[in-house]
């Protein structure tokens, strides 16, 4: 199935490029018009593809794309550090991940919004946030097989770290489409995902 998803992904990118070129001879090789442009003529190929793990590997964060639980009691990740926990919340402005540091009543916190979802959810999902046009990984991931929030891969337990830059090398495998900007290496066109 992965092989089919990759082939269809390339097919859709090439088809989108061809459609873009048909309307404008000045379009660059980086042109990407999205799935909708292919759907009207290639529905039989696009509809199965949009449900593959390859297609779902990167998406905008939203109520339907984040698999993690936000209900009281299921939205907390306790760490090995008794002075650090993470809380996941959702409201009308989006979904948020907060590191709460200290012992009540003397606590500080840092909150970042879930902006992008990485991972189809077959095993889990990790999340990214924008700071201007720079992309960073959030420290808490949802592990589907366990049905709970866990430290993001490679994160040290008990240390809040919102500073991990998402480099193009990461997105080569974990995104369907992205456009890098000039350094630093974690700068991207925010409308290209």
How many beta carbons lie within 10 A of that of residue 103, not counting itself? 8
Mean pLDDT of the chain: 82
Q: Is 80 exceeded by the pLDDT of residue 27?
A: no
Give 16 or 189, the one with higher predicted confidence.
189
Which H or E element spans position 112?
strand 106-113
User: Residue 19 is encoded by which pair of tokens?
Assistant: 């459609």
Q: How confident is the model at residue 112 (pLDDT cuts 50, 70, 90)?
A: very high
Q: Considering only CA atoms, which of 36, 193, 186 is closest in space to residue 116?
A: 193
User: Residue 185 is encoded by which pair of tokens?
Assistant: 């290496």
Backbone dihedral angles phi then psi of residue 46, each to the nearest 5 degrees: -70, -45
pTM for the structure as a whole: 0.75
The length of the chain is: 193
- Axis-axis angle for helices 35-49, 2-23 (nearest 10): 160
Residues 101, 107: Cα–Cα separation, whole Å: 5
Give 171 or 95, the one with higher predicted confidence.
95
Mean pLDDT of 10-39: 50
Give 172 or 76, the one with higher predicted confidence.
76
Residues 123, 125: Cα–Cα separation, whole Å: 7
Q: Is 80 exceeded by the pLDDT of residue 10?
A: no
Q: How far apart are the first and last CA of the chain?
A: 23
Residues 109, 103: Cα–Cα separation, whole Å: 11
Q: How confident is the model at residue 46 (pLDDT cuts 50, 70, 90)?
A: confident
* Percent of residues, the chain, with pLDDT higher than 90: 53
Residues 76, 70: Cα–Cα separation, whole Å: 8
Strand, helix or coil for residue 129: strand
Q: Evaluate whether 69 touches 63 at the Cβ level (below 8 Å).
A: no
Q: In a 10 Å sphere around its CB, with 0-12 CB exposed, 13-18 middle and 19+ buried, how is residue 35 labelled?
A: middle
> What's the pLDDT score for residue 98?
98
* Percent of residues, the chain, with pLDDT higher than 70: 77
């Amino acid at each position: 199935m992965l092989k089919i998803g990759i082939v269809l992904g390339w097919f859709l990118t090439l088809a989108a490029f061809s459609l873009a070129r048909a309307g404008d001879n000045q379009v660059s090789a980086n042109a990407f018009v999205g799935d909708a442009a292919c759907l009207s003529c290639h529905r039989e190929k696009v509809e199965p593809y949009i449900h593959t793990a390859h297609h779902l590997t990167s998406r905008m964060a939203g109520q339907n794309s984040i698999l993690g639980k936000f209900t009281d009691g299921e939205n907390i990740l306790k760490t090995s550090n008794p002075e650090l926990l993470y809380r996941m919340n959702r409201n009308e402005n989006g979904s948020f991940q907060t590191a709460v540091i200290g012992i009540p009543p003397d606590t500080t916190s840092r909150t970042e919004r879930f902006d992008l979802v990485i991972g189809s959810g077959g095993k889990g999902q990790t999340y990214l946030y924008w700071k201007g046009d720079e992309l960073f990984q959030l420290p808490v991931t949802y592990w589907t097989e366990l049905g709970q929030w866990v430290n993001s891969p490679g994160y040290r337990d008990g240390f809040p770290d919102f500073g991990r830059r998402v480099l193009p090398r990461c997105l080569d495998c974990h995104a369907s489409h992205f456009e890098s900007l000039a350094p630093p290496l974690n700068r991207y066109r925010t409308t290209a995902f």
